[in-house]
Structures are given as structure tokens and as C-alpha cells.
């Protein structure tokens, strides 16, 4: 058998972390122990990025095929063996790199309304503490950042032009090896979607994973001081540890965190403007993946 026989290749911020965890639960599926190997993003290519955050990502990636192979040494008799690296979809070099090593691999793609995906991508980078700009300013700066050799972490808008990305994979692997799902369907009916993926991968579709847990959601603190008090070591937290039972204390911190958290919303006007720029691409994409994307245009 090939080293691997399937990959979840994208898109970034379209539910791939949840899919990775749902697939991993299946006894007939083996997933690489780290979610994003990024091996085929580089595959021996030496890179030097302008932004230190991008360089750190590159340095932490799997660089050699030997190290990549080692990720799957613990696989036994699982039917489906694979990995999930959402940045593969966007990278122009990746399809051929994968095809040269695994021409029969099955590919899973999850696509999200591109304006919403771009904003979620921005929030993720903002939450990590790397993005100093507002979303609108970051979009204005995006072209200049790309030209200045900033990595894909900052390509918020550009990563949402899916049609060309899908075409690159279909051209090499054919439509039957590129299975596409929509983020909204995954969110609304996770069990139905994951069972369809199980069938596609040739494993028991009746296995029922835990799909209640939401993965990789990012929330921001309304009050930074409260966030600091409840999440960092400090005298008040140490005192609470001495006088409040562990179970009660955990619930208390969770309640305070929930009350102090919020999720920024995409400005409707900016969403509309972005969607207008994506519209020609969305119409092309409909034909490529044979799905009605009219809701994306509303």
C-alpha cells in the first residue's frame, strides 16, 4: 500500500481542524500525529520570508521525505491513511509535488464563502498577536505585503479565489479524486458530511464520531484585565486556588471567560464589497465543483 491514500488540502479557516479530529476518531482511519505537516508546501524548497512569523512557520514544517514518512510509521491495518494541511490548496506548486509521489491519492477540500473566510483568517492572525492592522487596512496592504515576500498567512483576500486552485488539482488528479464540501454544510450537518467523507475514503460510514466539540474557534477579550486575571498566574488566582475547590474554580473561570469573550463580526458593507470582487470566480467555481453557490453571492 502507498504510504498515504488521502489528504485534506484546504481551505484555510474552513473547518479542516474539525474534519481532522472527526476523521482521526474513526478506527479505520490513521491521521498524521500533527495536523499540518506542510511538507508539500516546501518539499525540499529553501525559503526565506520577510516576516519573522512566516519564517517560524517554515522552520517548524516537515522538510524531508524521511521525516514525512516517519509520521506514518505507527499506522497498522487502517484502511485510510492521510494528513490535513489546509495551506496546500492555495500553493501553486503543491498539486504537482503531491502527484509525483502519490498520483492515486484522494483529496478532500472544504470551501467557505470567501469574504467570510478572509475575515476569519485575519481574526486568527490577529488573535495570535501578529496582525497590527484593521481588516480593511490589511486588505489595502495585502498586495504590497505579497510583493514584499510576506508568506500566505497574510494573503487574506487572495486565498479566496478558489476556481484556479481547484482547477490545478483537477487537471492532475481528475474530478473523481478531488471531493469538495462546503463549510456551511459541515457546520449545519457535521455528521452527514463526515459520514460522506468516510464513504469516500472506503471506511465504515456508520461509525459515529463525536462532532459536538468545536475546534479552533477564536474569541477576543472584552476586558483585557479580566482576561489577564483569569488566564495568567497572579496573586488573586493563587488565593482562589487555596480557598475554592477545583471543580467549582474551573466552572467559575469558564463562566467569567465566556462572559468576557466576544467574536468580532465582519462589517456587512465590506463583506458585500469583497463578495463583489469574488463574484466572477464564484460563478466559475460553481461549474467546476457542480454545486449551487448562489447563497455566497447574497
Q: Which residue has the higher pLDDT, 279 or 259?
A: 279
Q: In angstroms, how far is CA 224 from the centroid of its own chain?
A: 27
pLDDT band at 186, cuts 50/70/90? very high
- In this prediction, residue 84 carries a pLDDT of 98
Omega within 30 of 0 (cis) for the link into 10: no
Mean pLDDT of the chain: 91
pLDDT band at 191, cuts 50/70/90? very high
The second-level CATH assignment, the architecture, of 6-211+269-297 is: 3-Layer(aba) Sandwich (3.40)
- In this prediction, residue 93 carries a pLDDT of 96
Percent of all residues in the chain with a pLDDT value above 90, rounded to a whole number: 78
pLDDT band at 247, cuts 50/70/90? confident
- Answer whether 285's CB lies under 8 Å from 166's CB: yes
Q: Which residue has the higher pLDDT, 260 or 169?
A: 169
Q: Which residue has the higher pLDDT, 36 or 257?
A: 36
- Answer whether 165's CB lies under 8 Å from 87's CB: no
Q: Are strands 106-111 and 29-31 parallel, antiparallel or unpaired?
A: unpaired
Residue range 11-61, pLDDT digits in tens = 999 999 999 999 999 999 999 999 999 999 998 888 889 999 999 999 999
One-character DSSP codes across 204-230: -TT------S--S---EESSHHHHHHH
What's the average model confidence in pLDDT over 275-292?
98
Q: Where are the domains of the chain?
A: 6-211+269-297, 220-262
What's the average model confidence in pLDDT over 235-252?
70
Residue range 100-130, pLDDT digits in tens = 999 999 999 999 999 999 999 999 999 988 9
**Residue positions counted in the chain:** 298
Amino acid at each position: 500500500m502507498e504510504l498515504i491514500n488521502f489528504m485534506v488540502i484546504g481551505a484555510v479557516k474552513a473547518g479542516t481542524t474539525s474534519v481532522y479530529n472527526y476523521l482521526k476518531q474513526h478506527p479505520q482511519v490513521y491521521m498524521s500525529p500533527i495536523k499540518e505537516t506542510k511538507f508539500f508546501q516546501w518539499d525540499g524548497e529553501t525559503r526565506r520570508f520577510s516576516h519573522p512569523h512566516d519564517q517560524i512557520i517554515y522552520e517548524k514544517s516537515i522538510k524531508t521525505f524521511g521525516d514525512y514518512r516517519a509520521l506514518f510509521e505507527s499506522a497498522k491495518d487502517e484502511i485510510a491513511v492521510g494528513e490535513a494541511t489546509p495551506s496546500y490548496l492555495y500553493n501553486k506548486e503543491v498539486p504537482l509535488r503531491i502527484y509525483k509521489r502519490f498520483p492515486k491519492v484522494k483529496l478532500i477540500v472544504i470551501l467557505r464563502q470567501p469574504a467570510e473566510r478572509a475575515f476569519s483568517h485575519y481574526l486568527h492572525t490577529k488573535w495570535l498577536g501578529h496582525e497590527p492592522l484593521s481588516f480593511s487596512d490589511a486588505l489595502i496592504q495585502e498586495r504590497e505585503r505579497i510583493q514584499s515576500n510576506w508568506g500566505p498567512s497574510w494573503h487574506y483576500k487572495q486565498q479566496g479565489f478558489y476556481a484556479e486552485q481547484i482547477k490545478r488539482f483537477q487537471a492532475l488528479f481528475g474530478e473523481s479524486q478531488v471531493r469538495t464540501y462546503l463549510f456551511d454544510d459541515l457546520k449545519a450537518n457535521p455528521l452527514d458530511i463526515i459520514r460522506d467523507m468516510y464513504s469516500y475514503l472506503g471506511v465504515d460510514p456508520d461509525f459515529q464520531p463525536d462532532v459536538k466539540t468545536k475546534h479552533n474557534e477564536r474569541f477576543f477579550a472584552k476586558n483585557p484585565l479580566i482576561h489577564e486575571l483569569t488566564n495568567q498566574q497572579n496573586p488573586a488566582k493563587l488565593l482562589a486556588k487555596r480557598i475554592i475547590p477545583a471543580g467549582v474554580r474551573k466552572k467559575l473561570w469558564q463562566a467569567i471567560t465566556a462572559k468576557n469573550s466576544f467574536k468580532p463580526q465582519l462589517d456587512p458593507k465590506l463583506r458585500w464589497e469583497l463578495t463583489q470582487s469574488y463574484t466572477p470566480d464564484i460563478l466559475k467555481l460553481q461549474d467546476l465543483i457542480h454545486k449551487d453557490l448562489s447563497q455566497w453571492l447574497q
